[in-house]
Amino acid sequence: MSIEKIFENRVLKLNKKEENTKGKYVLYCMEASQRQEFNHALEFSIYKANYYKKPVLVVFFITDKYKFSNQRYYRFIIEGLIKLKKDLKDRGINFLIIKDDYVNGCIKLSKEAYLVVLDKNYLKTQRLWRRKVADFVDVCVYEVESDVIFPIQFLFNKSIPYAFLYRDKVEKFFDYFLLEVKQFEPIIKNNDLNIYLDNVIDFNEVQEYLNILNIDKSISTVEKYYQGGSDIANKLLKEFIEKKLPFYKDNRSDPTLDYTSNLSPYLHFGQISPLKIVIEILKYYDKRDENVKSFFNELIVWRELARNYVYYNEFYNQYEGVILWARKSLEEHLVDKREYLYTLEELEQGKTHDEYWNAAQQELLITGKMHNYMRMYWAKKIIEWTEHPKQAFDIACYLNDKYLLDGRDPNGYAGISWCFGNFDRPFKERKIFGKIRYMSYKNLTERFDVKRYLSRFLKL
């Protein structure tokens, strides 16, 4: 297989600048893909470095200025970064954790770089970071897409409103992009590369990193439930393939059972590649297997549709991004009497009349994760218990972003938007919800033995 094939449609040059022939290293500013395995951006950096006979320098910028900076997700990130540092050292690659913001850090280190490599992200803030880096540095900048199976802009150049349209295109190119990511051996090892920066931080313990960050420490960490790192992600994948995938299709929606992969936090932080997940599964199962098809529909179709959504809809995390027919229908029912109305504080603390909704909120608060079916029920009820759907949308995003390990993610925003009518069709009109899909307490209790779910989270 040619090297060009591995990187085909994944690499984009972001500016028209040239290499710095006096540069000491190829700089990879890691952000979205926090791993050394199945990382196109890392391998592209090594490939370029080998070509120019330079070492590779990988850096991760950690800042306490990011919105919702709290110790929950910083602990998860740092747990992974400490392990990643060892993985990269074993390959002869220097990895620095630097206390700085992404743009400033990239610009500073680019001054001695031969060229700069960035990994692709889809959210507005991270896309702005990359544009600023490309504009402000004096060398060429490449962006490499590695956290999807199918490069987003290759499949579509516009927002796609329905999953079946995305699914059709995915099926057409499925085998074309299913390529192992070759690991290159660095020709120039750079373990001894001398980089003197005041803001490099190098501790052995996670807590030492947290201690120097001015972040919200009132939110609990969740290492009792989920620990960061590619090694943990790989263990969860193995367990999923061996014990859960054979029963996935019939059990994935049941919040009282544990048949989900639990990989969403690791995918969110790039600690595992979706491409690796697919390739590993296909070593043991046929892609026509009904359980595999069901899981790939979530992992590939809906996950990558979510990235299409945030990439082409600038209002992805705002009520204004909801499709017009759904907003119109919801607003036609603003005058409908709400039986219950709750404040943000009451919702955040899980103090509603609905014991199952409260249990879902406790799952979010305590474990940093929530079962996908309960996420849908959770968001639908916020619509029902607030005065305006815009208020409901903002509350759902706030709680999602603040507490969930896999919050601040295209999946989360697309999932919330689905609850408000996006990617869905109109239904029979009803009070408050208008024509958007309704989910009821009665249906929840009839469909699942949901008291088992309740008892599990009462113990927490």
pLDDT, one tens digit per residue, over 49-77 is 999 999 999 999 999 888 888 999 999 99
Residue 140: predicted pLDDT: 98
Q: Is residue 377 pLDDT above 90, yes or no?
A: yes
Domain tally, the chain: 3
Mean of per-residue pLDDT scores for the chain: 95
Residue 414: predicted pLDDT: 98
Percent pLDDT > 90 in the chain is 92
* 18 occurs within a structural domain: yes
> Which residues, in sequence order, are bridge partners of residue 143?
12, 118
Confidence class for position 289, pLDDT limits 50, 70, 90: very high
* 398 occurs within a structural domain: yes
Residue 190: predicted pLDDT: 73
63, 120: one domain: yes
346, 411: one domain: yes
Q: 242: which DSSP letter?
A: I
Confidence class for position 19, pLDDT limits 50, 70, 90: very high
Q: Is residue 460 pLDDT above 90, yes or no?
A: no
Q: Can you tell me the distance from the alpha carbon of 119 to that of 102, in angstroms, rounded to the nearest whole number?
A: 12
Percent pLDDT > 70 in the chain is 97
Q: In terms of DSSP H, where are the helices of 162-301?
A: 163-173, 206-211, 230-239, 248-251, 264-268, 274-281, 290-296
* 66 occurs within a structural domain: yes
Q: 270: which DSSP letter?
A: T
Residue 87: predicted pLDDT: 96
257, 174: one domain: yes
164, 122: one domain: no
In terms of pLDDT, which residue wins out, 287 or 5?
Answer: 287
Confidence class for position 193, pLDDT limits 50, 70, 90: low
81, 53: one domain: yes
140, 273: one domain: no
134, 166: one domain: no
- List b or e across 9-35, with b for residues whose CB sees 16 or more CB atoms inside 10 angstroms: ebbeebbebebbeebbbbbbbbbbbbb
Any idea what the CATH number is for the domain that residue 170 is in? 1.25.40.80
Q: Can you tell me the distance from the alpha carbon of 367 to that of 72, in angstroms, rounded to the nearest whole number?
A: 10
* Among candidate residues 284, 312, 340, the one where a domain is terminated: 312
Q: What is the pTM of this model?
A: 0.96
* Among candidate residues 98, 128, 147, the one where a domain is terminated: 147
132: left (phi over 0), alpha (psi -120 to 50) or beta: alpha
Stretch 22-43: mean pLDDT, rounded?
97
Q: In terms of DSSP H, where are the helices of 282-437?
A: 290-296, 303-312, 324-331, 344-348, 355-367, 372-384, 389-403, 410-419
* 142 occurs within a structural domain: yes
Confidence class for position 225, pLDDT limits 50, 70, 90: very high
Q: Is residue 434 pLDDT above 90, yes or no?
A: yes
In terms of pLDDT, which residue wins out, 458 or 32?
Answer: 32
Q: pLDDT tens digit string along 83-108?
A: 999 999 999 999 999 999 999 999 99
* 211 occurs within a structural domain: no
Stretch 186-191: mean pLDDT, rounded?
83
Stretch 205-212: mean pLDDT, rounded?
96
Residue 455: predicted pLDDT: 84
- Per the structure, the complete domain to which residue 352 belongs is given by 319-459
DSSP percent split of the chain into helix, strand, coil, nearest 5? 50, 10, 45
* 352 occurs within a structural domain: yes
What are the Cα distances from residue 68, in Å, to 103, 229, 317, 349? 19, 21, 15, 17
Stretch 231-247: mean pLDDT, rounded?
98
77, 23: one domain: yes
First to last CA, the chain: 51
105, 49: one domain: yes
Stretch 167-196: mean pLDDT, rounded?
87
366, 455: one domain: yes
* 77 occurs within a structural domain: yes
* 196 occurs within a structural domain: no
295, 348: one domain: no
Confidence class for position 448, pLDDT limits 50, 70, 90: very high
Stretch 8-19: mean pLDDT, rounded?
96
Sheet holding 94-99, edge to edge: 11-13, 141-144, 113-119, 25-30, 56-62, 94-99, 200-201
87, 30: one domain: yes
Any idea what the CATH number is for the domain that residue 80 is in? 3.40.50.620
- Coil, strand or helix: which one is 156? coil
Any idea what the CATH number is for the domain that residue 327 is in? 1.10.579.10
* Among candidate residues 312, 331, 346, the one where a domain is terminated: 312
Residue 194: predicted pLDDT: 67
Q: pLDDT tens digit string along 104-127?
A: 999 999 999 999 999 999 999 999
